[in-house]
Amino acid sequence: MATFATMLTRLMPGRAEAAAHARSQRRNETYRLRTWPNEDLLFPVKPIDNSRVSPKADRKDRSQSWKVMFGFTGAAALLIAVLLPSAYSLMAGYKLQELKKRNDQLRAESAMLDVEIARHTSPANLEQFASSGKMEAPNTKKLVYLQPQESVAMTIERK
């Protein structure tokens, strides 16, 4: 096998003698490292094109893929089934606290409305409203008396 250095020595014969003389001088140097074993070997690299090669289908590999996929799906379903009750109870706790707060708000609002009704229906307030002229005393033409047709009290009285 030829290397680039040997091809140059063939093209330039005078250079080969100078290189041999330089090599002889170098051998006398004590600090020079030894050569590596098989340093002069050259391994050519051949390009390989695998673009037209297609792998043969492996049935074991395909079944293994399905097993792994179903395994992960089953594990995810199991994890969801285990965590779902605790998540549901957590959400129910949040909803319960929200309803308690809403109940307290409604009770406070109801108490305020009770105070408002008591203030409006107080005798002093009714007197003031009646004396302002907005209310009239009903006359006999405006009064209507209702008699129940078939009530329980009437049937007991008749017997």
- Which string of DSSP letters, residue by residue, matches the chain? ---HHHHHHHH-HHHHHHHHHHHHHHTT-SSPPPPPTTTT----------TT--PPP-HHHHHHHHHHHHHHHHHHHHHHHHHHHHHHHHHHHHHHHHHHHHHHHHHHHHHHHHHHHHHHTSHHHHHHHHHTTS-----TTT------SS-HHHHHHH-
List the domain boundaries for the chain.
Answer: 1-35
pTM of the model: 0.37
**pLDDT tens per residue across all 159 residues of the chain:** 556 666 666 666 665 566 566 555 555 556 666 777 877 778 888 899 988 888 887 778 778 888 999 999 999 999 999 999 999 999 999 999 999 999 999 999 999 999 999 998 888 888 887 777 777 777 777 778 777 666 666 565 555
